[in-house]
Amino acid sequence: MSERIPGSERAGLTDTVARLRAEGVEMVEMSFVDNAGIVRVKSVPLDRLPAAARFGVGASPCFETFTFDDVMVPGRYLGGPDGDLRLVPDLDRLVRLAALPGWAWAPADKFGQDGQRFVACQRAFVARQVQAAADAGLTTLAAFEHEWALAASDTDEFVPAFTGPAYGQVRLESTADYALELVAALREQGLDVQQFHPEYAVGQVELSVAAKDPLGAADDAILVRHTVRAVSRRHGWRASFAPCLVPGGAGSGGHLHLSVHDADGNLLADGPGRYGMQPAGEAFLAGVLRELPALQAIGGGNPASFLRLEPSRWAGVWQVWGRETREAAIRLITGTIGTRQWAANAEVKCFDATANPYLTVGAVLAAGLAGVREELRLPTEITGDPASLSDDERAAAEIRRLPTNAAEAADALETSVVLSDALGKELHDAMLTVRRAEAQRFADTDPGELAAVTRWRW
């Protein structure tokens, strides 16, 4: 990933423009994700793409401290009305949008007007963590799970698009044509869809895609959600990735799956440790486990996130790990015999789609790499539901609850040396500015009102 805006047009870009025009593309969308998890966009006509790739497209840096509802709260280093950035499309991810005829999409990197990489570029943050892993002789693969709810109309109220038993065939019959179109669109855009099924909550479905390098996984998350919303509209439905549609019920997560590898293979398989973990693989997970309270602020720290984060809902509210334990924040998945080398991974369950996926995957990498450097070890695993234990029993077993509100999560992020060092002072402060502003403004908001305010933002 370049640290300067390219000085000349990319070889072959003329052919790319010609190909896209032959495919009916007229406009190119460039997206970036702010620290509140909102995807922002600029677009250019297709014939302006070479200029955008060479010089970028202007965008205000004010979005670095926008809250999810578009309130600007300047931080110590970023935000406010001054300055300008250049959004440069990543042409390696440029793709025609199958569900939006006439449009193509590319994620954007952020540069300053001097041509230097913007200090708080979230995609560059991921790239730095990938390089740090490579310097340690490690590579990682990642993928986000996607859960969303489908509403029957464009009203602000949530009216489920379908009903029926959780995971039930009745629900699949209601979404069969929709699923066919969605999966076809995603595959046409180069994504490898692994599963689609109706989920637990009312009107909820889930889709997963194959793991990629961490930057590619975050890009995929944006493209999947974009495609889901477009296909849903074509079917007369409205899709929401918000963590809570109806308070008191199950919500939608954005779980992150991650595996760690060295030159010899998967460090979560075929080793001498518990369930086949190798020492570096266990250390990586131990580092993530240690930083989970701070990671919560990044991966699911919106005030509405905590409407979902309730015990006994498989939301991962406990700072613990366990093999195939769905109440643990970190669920170790070993795979079945014969699949473990490629299937073994860890699922971080406490995250949701209000997060910037670039920050989420980059911060988890940073936490895991700190664990490897310090040769950490995992504590005793849990089984069952910690909510069934008494307070004394949980204390004796060192089972701790993750933050229960946005302010607690922000406090944990502020004191995390690992994440503040990895993010850098500007990005760390911008993230804290956003989370604290959201926490303060919605601290006393009724759960039903909070769900309504956030329902259609993601």
Domain ranges of the chain: 13-118, 128-454
CA–CA dist 174, 322 (Å, integer): 35
What are the phi and psi torsion angles at 184 (to 5°)?
A: -60, -40
In angstroms, the CA 33 to CA 355 distance is: 9
**What's the pLDDT score for residue 154?**
75
Question: Side chain identity at 34, as an amino acid letter?
Answer: D
Bin 19: left if φ > 0, else alpha if -120 < ψ < 50, else beta.
alpha
Q: Report pLDDT for 8.
A: 45
Which tokens in the block code for residue 46?
């297709």
Q: Into which CATH architecture does domain 13-118 fall? A: Roll (3.10)
Q: Is the dihedral of CA 306, 307, 309, 315 positive or negative?
A: negative
Q: Are 301 and 409 in contact (CB under 8 A)?
A: yes
Give me the tens of pLDDT residue by residue for the chain, a chain 458 residues long: 567 666 545 668 999 999 999 999 999 999 999 999 999 999 999 999 999 999 999 999 999 999 999 999 999 999 988 899 999 999 999 999 999 999 999 999 999 999 999 999 999 999 999 999 999 999 999 999 999 999 998 778 899 999 999 899 999 999 999 999 999 999 999 999 999 999 998 899 999 999 999 999 999 999 999 999 999 999 999 999 999 998 988 899 999 999 999 999 999 999 999 999 999 999 999 999 999 999 999 999 999 999 999 999 999 999 999 999 999 999 999 988 888 888 899 999 999 999 999 999 999 999 999 999 999 999 999 999 999 999 999 999 999 999 999 999 999 999 999 999 999 999 999 999 999 999 999 999 999 999 999 999 99
Cα separation, 125 vs 307, whole angstroms:
29
Crossing angle between the packed helical segments 425-441 and 292-300, to the nearest 10 degrees: 70
Interatomic CA distance for residues 219 and 209, integer angstroms: 12
Res 411: pLDDT: 98
Same topology for domains 13-118 and 128-454, yes or no? no
Give the strand pairing for 328-333 and 318-323.
Answer: parallel
Say if domain 128-454 classifies as CATH 3.30.70.1150.
Answer: no
Cβ atoms within 10 Å of 421's Cβ, excluding its own: 12
Q: What number of other Cβ atoms are within 10 A of residue 384's Cβ?
A: 11
Q: Cα(70)–Cα(139) distance, rounded to whole angstroms? A: 36
Locate tokens 């369930």: which residue? 275
What's the pLDDT score for residue 120? Answer: 97
C-alpha to C-alpha distances, 352 to 37, 76, 236, 389, nearest whole angstrom: 10, 27, 25, 26
How many beta carbons lie within 10 A of that of residue 74, not counting itself?
16
What is the rounded distance in angstroms from the CA atom of residue 186 to the CA atom of residue 422? 33
- Using alpha carbons, list the distances in angstroms from residue 296 to 93, 348, 363, 393: 28, 10, 10, 24
* Res 153: pLDDT: 81
Tokens at 159, concatenated = 């009216």
Q: Distances in Å between the alpha carbon of 274 and those of 146, 267, 288, 318?
A: 29, 12, 17, 20
Give the integer Cα–Cα distance in Å for 331 and 145: 14
Strand-strand pairing, 238-240 and 139-151: antiparallel
From the centroid of its chain, how far is CA 374?
Answer: 26
What is the C-alpha to C-alpha distance for residues 337 and 317, in angstroms, rounded to an integer?
A: 30
SS3 1: coil
Would you tell me how many other CB atoms lie within 10 Å of the CB of residue 408?
Answer: 18
Tell me which residue of 57, 61, 60 sits closest to 49, measured CA to CA.
57
Pairing of strands 204-209, 103-112: unpaired
